[in-house]
Amino acid sequence: MKGLSLLFFLAIFGCAKAQMPYSASYLQALGAENRTPIFGDSSKLTDPQKATYFALIPGGGQIYNKKYFKAGIVYAGFAGLIYFNKISVDSLRKYEIIYADKIDGDTIDGYPQFSTSSAKFFRDNYRRNRDVSILGFVGLYAIQIIDANVDAHLKEFKVNDELSMRITPALYAQEPGLGRYNGVSIKLRF
């Protein structure tokens, strides 16, 4: 388990380091150090590497990117998974005790409504639910890190206001060598 945890954090660290901004010497070689930013004020842009590091704390990357509603979704997801895990663990303990009592033949605690097979079924079901909630934690943790990194990258992306796509049908058009045909015309303007 330690090896898997170490591998996970090394992968996160490697991804964060891969997003380093251009060095000053690289920009100088391009002659880009004195250029003005393409999309206006570059102080509003976020650093993907910092966003990834902040995302190691759940919701931190979303807060760094100023996407507070996403941080709320992350916290709500973790709260729901904690609740689901607690119910599953408590029920698992209960049905493990019932199943052990049924196997030993003890009827002191009662539970005459459960047979050995039904107690085993419920125990296995709640064990599976506990495992699913743990996988949910890992999945949500990874997704919120990826989301913070991608969102920081997309801050630099700007869509032109004049970007448009126009789809028009071309019915019975006449082209030399092709004759009449039906089709669709797609025009992109940017």
pLDDT band at 63; cut points 50, 70, 90: very high
Residue 148 in this model has a pLDDT that exceeds 60: yes
User: According to the model, what pLDDT value does residue 82 have?
Assistant: 95
The reported pTM is 0.62
Region of poorest pLDDT, from 8-22, 100-114, 140-154, 166-180 = 8-22
User: According to the model, what pLDDT value does residue 75 have?
Assistant: 95
Residue 19 in this model has a pLDDT that exceeds 80: no
Q: What are the residues facing 168 on neighbouring strands?
A: 185
Q: Give the start-to-end residue ranges of the domains of the chain.
A: 2-161
Region of poorest pLDDT, from 46-55, 76-85, 155-164 = 155-164
Q: What is the full DSSP assignment across the chain?
A: -HHHHHHHHHHHHHHHHTTPPPPHHHHHHHT-TTPPPTTS-GGG---HHHHHHHTTSTTHHHHHTT-HHHHHHHHHHHHHHHHHHHHHHHHHHHHHHHHHHHHHT--SS--TT--HHHHHHHHHHHHHHHHHHHHHHHHHHHHHHHHHHHHHHHTT----TT-EEEEEEEEEEEETTTEEEEEEEEEEE-
Residue 132 in this model has a pLDDT that exceeds 70: yes
